[in-house]
Amino acid sequence: MRRVTLEQVFTHPITQKYLERSGVAHAIAVAEYAYLFSKRYEVNPDHAVKAALLHDIGHYTWYRDGEWDYDLYKENDIHAIKGASRAHKLLIRIGEDRHAAKEIAVAILLHTDSYLPKGELKLKPLQQVVALADEADEENGGNHHYKKIEDHVALERIQALDKQIDATLTEKASQSENI
């Protein structure tokens, strides 16, 4: 039913490279929250979880004299824009449906408004799910980016999410057939 699994996205070298930077443990925790919230908001769990997993892949490391400079980051960060673009390119490359790739990329673009001009942004439910999932795993001082996870545990949690997504999509498909 799905063209691309979460495991395919997660194990791709491009994903691994960027998640190394922004935190694998954080990405997986946000993906798990997004799965839970996707039920509450009745959005496609596959899109929500993929966007959540990839939401921070646009991060750049802001170092000054060997240390992370938070002010430099605040001033210059565009990680949501870069992440949306990287995620879209990656998803298309591994065969994702074009519509799904766009939905996922836009949800990544809007997962934070810290870089946008002040004003009211009216988020669609999918975008809201990704933003809420990110907030749910946030820790003070950006500590969520430094949480550690063992490789085999990370992969097991990704595979468990794939199973849950498949089960939810199968259930939804059979419900719509019965109407």
Q: Which stretch binds Fe ion (CB under 5 A): 13-21, 55-63, 68-76, 83-91?
A: 55-63
Contact call for residue 32 and Fe ion (CB under 5 A): no
Nearer to Fe ion (CB atom), residue 145 or residue 172: 145
Burial class (CB in 10 A: 0-12, 13-18, 19+), 141: exposed
* Binding positions for Fe ion, 121-140, rule CB under 5 A: 134
Rg of the chain on CA atoms, in Å: 16
Q: Which stretch binds Fe ion (CB under 5 A): 54-62, 74-82, 116-124, 149-157?
A: 54-62
Residue with structure tokens 């002010």?
A: 71
Contact present, 104 and 47 (Cβ < 8 Å) = yes
Nearer to Fe ion (CB atom), residue 6 or residue 53: 53
Residues contacting Fe ion: total by CB under 5 A:
2
Nearer to Fe ion (CB atom), residue 21 or residue 172: 21
Burial class (CB in 10 A: 0-12, 13-18, 19+), 111: buried
Nearer to Fe ion (CB atom), residue 46 or residue 56: 56
- The span from the CA of 35 to the CA of 118, in Å, is 29
Of these, 32, 56, 103, 162, which contacts Fe ion (CB under 5 A)?
56
- Rounded to a whole number of angstroms, the minimum distance from the CB of residue 43 to Fe ion is 18
Residues that bind Fe ion (CB under 5 A): 56, 134
